[in-house]
Amino acid sequence: MNSEDKFKCRVCGLDQSPDMPWGESGREPSHDICSCCGVEFGYEDDSLENCLSIRRNWAQVERCKWFSPKDRPLGWDMAAQIRGIPLPYKGAEDEQLIQAFLQAGEPPAQGLAALSAVEKPSR
């Protein structure tokens, strides 16, 4: 793994710096929650297989919903983030997930998502 990868979520590729989800050694998970895909470092992302299945569910079922919507940057570049996932945790279908997400566009705001959308703009 290159050093940049130590800062990235294995499931969605979000840069967690200055925190390292799996520590300096890659073996000491922080048990923090990714504010993007919502995975717990060290619990759900402990194997490539798990990372792929969580990523698929997050992209296809949750439509890349942010676990912590307030942390989502304006103009979030989902494709760039997914393409930046650490190499050992990339999946063959990542590009399909990206294309499907880009073609479908943002899901309509409803329920909790609508609520946070209402809270967001005023600042």
Backbone angles phi, psi at 3, to 5 degrees: -65, -30
Q: Verify binding: residue 36, Zn ion, rule CB under 5 A.
A: yes
- The CA distance from 56 to 94, in Å, is 8
- For Zn ion, which residue of 5, 6, 8, 12 counts as binding (CB under 5 A)? 12
Task: Tell me the window of 13-21, 23-31, 79-87, 99-107 that interacts with Zn ion (CB under 5 A).
Answer: 13-21
Distances in Å between the Cα of 19 and the Cα atoms of 2, 8, 34, 48 are 15, 9, 11, 21
Output 35 or 116, the one with its CB closest to Zn ion.
35
Output 30 or 122, the one with its CB closest to Zn ion.
30
Q: Verify binding: residue 11, Zn ion, rule CB under 5 A.
A: yes
Give residue for tokens 């993007």: 36
DSSP state of 71: G
Q: Verify binding: residue 9, Zn ion, rule CB under 5 A.
A: yes
Query: 101 near 107, Cβ under 8 Å?
Result: no
Query: 61 near 41, Cβ under 8 Å?
Result: no
The amino acid sitting at 53 is S
Q: Verify binding: residue 59, Zn ion, rule CB under 5 A.
A: no
Q: Verify binding: residue 54, Zn ion, rule CB under 5 A.
A: no
Q: Verify binding: residue 34, Zn ion, rule CB under 5 A.
A: yes
Task: Tell me the window of 8-16, 46-54, 73-81, 107-115 that interacts with Zn ion (CB under 5 A).
Answer: 8-16
